[in-house]
Amino acid sequence: MQRLRLLFPAMAVALCASSSAQAQVTIDVEKMTCGQFATYKVASPKNIAIWLNGYHHGTRGDTVIDTQQLNEDTKKIQQYCIDNPNTPLMQAVQTVIGPRN
């Protein structure tokens, strides 16, 4: 799997819990585990899943979003992550979703 070094300035704004604190929040999804994803330790799984969906589609040059499929994939990834909390999240996504044509 290609090494990912991702910072999310736009996501940081959405995830910032306090409007009075101006701390920068970044997430390196490559380092995130399934346990962190499934138990809301980093952010809402839905927010992360939306980003993951965009990233996964972007790697294939696919600009179409199937919102029903996104919801199904999110549920599948959450369940996989509950069952495999020590698995890296990006590995879980590849296992659950895999390449699509």
Q: Is the pTM of this model over 0.95?
A: no
Number of domains in the chain: 1
pLDDT digits (tens, 9 = 90+) for 6-29: 433 334 444 454 444 556 578 889
Query: Is residue 64 in a domain?
Result: yes
Query: Is residue 77 in a domain?
Result: yes
Query: Is residue 47 in a domain?
Result: yes
| Contact residues for 43 (Cβ-Cβ < 8 A; gap 6+) | 11, 15, 27
Backbone angles phi, psi at 86, to 5 degrees: -90, -5
Q: What per-residue confidence (pLDDT) applies to 21? A: 52
**Any idea what the CATH number is for the domain that residue 71 is in?**
1.10.890
pLDDT digits (tens, 9 = 90+) for 16-67: 544 445 565 788 899 999 999 999 888 888 999 999 988 888 888 988 889 9
Residue recorded with tokens 């495999």: 84
